[in-house]
Structure 1
């Protein structure tokens, strides 16, 4: 299993899967970072696509050259010992914070859509993520690659059907633009959105680069990953704008939008949403634990269990409040990582330095 190499599709799907999760697939992230800017959110998404492709590739390539097992070698190679150590602390802390957000998100979906106690969703999510991460990096890649195509098909399909039923309403969009956004301008919002997602994805992207099939697989995988994220975000953005003002008032607006169609559509999207929450939780849990303990070691296994238990307890916090407060804070802190990666690009990436 250790010799198995990951294809272009595996790289792209894993990239997308580590980014999308409760915040993305629910529509809450897109609403906060793009929806509040109305139609100006569309060029913001285009900027995000370019940044996702560029910085995703830089992380993957550094991971390949360094034979990375966690994000630490990548951030130190990019930022040096001092900056790299600071970035490492930010990444490690927020990987756990995002795991808590995914746990809360699973509880919110089961509560709102299936009438089950949120604690049931919390437990199911944590147990599923725990078992997957115990299978190692290839288990993470396999799980994510199976789920990502379902999400893209679902959000594009629902968005297209919504636009056919309810064209955009300029008055409602104008009212939303007057609401206070977490980030003051759409260009900065695009950068902050990519920044916090890169922080949460680097824990998986760095070791993924070391097991990719070829440098070409990294290049195409990063490009396709960025495009896939852009397509999904644009589809959600248009669906949100077409269903204002109701969609802007809910914790899980995409479930509301799916609910405008036959009941089976809403149930199906709820399942897809839960699967995406699961894939992101898997990436967060793996990235956090592998930074502290060597993969496949006894310490790794024990830390997976302990981290899962703590996330389960912390996941009782409200989902939308976590997205609105934690995620922009992650983004601003993650600007340090983007600056370090930009500096590494300008000075030239290091030569192969595998141990």
Structure 2
């Protein structure tokens, strides 16, 4: 068994999910922590689903189904499949807008002009994404361990939460919220995993890589949840605010990790677009800069739940498609 390959794929999986709203704390607050202690149940369920669906996606990719459009065509009618592909393009571009907006906001903490920060963030993402599988695995192999370390430090050093109470006005809402969270994040991750599946030699490797990725994601979710449930006020970048309150130097390192985490999601998006349209079209992605003027918090709060609801139809074919590998060989 090739442990190095399994680890690299697992970290690339984590990096694709951990990004814009995740590292900032906004995603975790909106989908889990605002429900109090039941949010932890949502995290446990999410971690399990990430492992299972991730393994299926890697196995499909290992069998040769690297084209997401082909996967959709096995389940939906030609018109529905084309609509689904159009939706994926829109979602990917919206996700990239969130990443670039967050990058500009984060780098402003280093006294960088927000627009310069956005331009620099997009330039790095396009450069790494241009190199395909090698780019995404090497970048996440460095960024994700750093993110785990800095999130762990922030969680351990933050004050204990004062209370973990269920919001009685929303019984059961935590479960729906967890489903939407997984659905949205699997949207991009599934397409990345289909491409990464070619690096694996067996179903066992696929399951090990996906399970490890799910466990790491569950750990990061839990660490951030521990911090966020104790906050009386949640701003645009709550985890960064907490880190700065603990120690200025920790805040600086967390700001760097937040920016790096944003890069990983952006790299995953560009990787998918590169695989679909080719490297030469990536230059057209500079147009997303024109749509990054909205608040980062508003983008996460308003776009993510809607995208999560619609994205369910895009990753469900993993469970019902059976002709993909046969049609490719």
TM-score normalised by L of structure 2: 0.92
After superposition, the Cα gap between the structure-2 partners of 1:80 and 1:230, relative to the gap in structure 1 and judged at 3 Å, is farther
Residue 43 of structure 2 is aligned to residue 45 of structure 1: yes
Give the drift of 1:353: 4.8
Determine the C-alpha separation between the residues in 1 that align with 2:297 and 2:167.
19
Q: RMSD of aligned C-alpha atoms? A: 2.4
Structure 1 residues 68-90: Cα deviation after superposition (integer angstroms, max 9, x where no partner): 1x422333345564554343222
Runs of at least 5 residues in structure 1 that lack an aligned partner in the other structure: 294-299
TM alignment of 1:314-333, pairs within 5 A: 314-333=291-310
Give the drift of 1:60: 1.3
- Among residues 229, 232, 235, which one is paired with 1:241 in the alignment? 229
Specify the SS of the correspondent of 2:246.
Answer: coil
Matched with 2:249 is: 264
- Among residues 139, 142, 146, which one is paired with 1:146 in the alignment? 142
TM alignment of 1:168-247, pairs within 5 A: 168-170=161-163, 173-174=164-165, 177=167, 185-242=173-230, 244-246=231-233
Give the drift of 1:137: 2.0
TM alignment of 1:157-168, pairs within 5 A: 157-162=153-158, 166-168=159-161
Give the drift of 1:138: 1.4
Residue 116 of structure 2 is aligned to residue 120 of structure 1: yes
Instruction: Assess if the C-alpha contact under 8 Å between 1:6 and 1:213 holds in 2.
Output: no
Structure 1 residues 109-132: Cα deviation after superposition (integer angstroms, max 9, x where no partner): 122x22322112101111101111
Determine the C-alpha separation between the residues in 2 that align with 1:303 and 1:314.
19
Determine the C-alpha separation between the residues in 2 that align with 1:95 and 1:137.
18
Specify the SS of the correspondent of 1:66.
Answer: coil
Give the drift of 1:17: 0.3
Give the drift of 1:146: 1.5
Determine the C-alpha separation between the residues in 2 that align with 1:284 and 1:206.
13
- Among residues 279, 304, 308, which one is paired with 1:301 in the alignment? 279
Instruction: Assess if the C-alpha contact under 8 Å between 1:203 and 1:286 holds in 2.
Output: no
Aligned positions, number: 328
After superposition, the Cα gap between the structure-2 partners of 1:148 and 1:32, relative to the gap in structure 1 and judged at 3 Å, is same
- Among residues 280, 287, 294, which one is paired with 2:272 in the alignment? 287
